Amino acid sequence: MALRIRPAGREVRQHVDGPELPVCWLLAEWPAGESEPVQYWLSDLPSGMPLTTLVRLAKLRWRIEHDYREMKQALGLAHFEGRTWNGWHHHVTLVSVAHAFCTLQRLARTPKEAAPA
Distance CA 95, CA 78 (A): 10
pTM above 0.95, yes or no: no
Residue 36 has pLDDT above 80, yes or no: yes
Give the per-residue pLDDT at 4: 81
Distance between CA atoms of 46 and 57, rounded to whole angstroms?
Answer: 13
pLDDT at residue 72, rounded to an integer: 94
Domain assignments of the chain as residue spans, ordered by start? 1-60, 74-117
| Cβ contacts of 21 within 8 Å, gap of 6 or more | 6, 7, 8, 12, 13
What is residue 44's predicted lDDT score, i.e. its pLDDT?
86
